[in-house]
């Protein structure tokens, strides 16, 4: 009985390994600015109303926000300099 439980446990762990590895996404570099600093810059832009979404992809943050006149704006920021790309 204990061999059956052990074999089942090993099979579950082996099957879950690739699924867990698929969740590994690249992280910002260690010298990256804090995301809160980047958002603070966005909030200072003319006509800013609210942040809708922030994505991390391809080594940069993409911030989507809306202005007071309901325009949708997407800006990609370098994580180290916190400047738009």
Residues 2-45 have pLDDT tens digits of 665 555 556 665 666 555 555 677 899 999 999 999 999 999 99
Give me the helices (H) in the chain, please. Answer: 2-22, 35-43
Report the distance separating Cα 54 and Cα 75, nearest Å.
10
Residues 42-66 have pLDDT tens digits of 999 999 999 999 999 989 999 999 9
Smallest Cα–Cα separation from 82: which of 40, 26, 24? Answer: 40
- What pLDDT does residue 25 have? 77
């Amino acid at each position: 009985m204990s061999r059956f439980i052990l074999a089942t446990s090993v099979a579950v762990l082996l099957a879950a390994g690739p699924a867990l590895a698929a969740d590994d996404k690249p992280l910002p570099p260690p010298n990256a600015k804090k995301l809160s600093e980047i958002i603070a810059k966005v909030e200072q832009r003319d006509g800013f109303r609210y942040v809708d979404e922030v994505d991390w992809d391809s080594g940069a943050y993409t911030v989507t926000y809306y202005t007071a006149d309901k325009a949708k704006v997407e800006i990609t920021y370098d994580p180290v300099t916190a400047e738009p790309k």
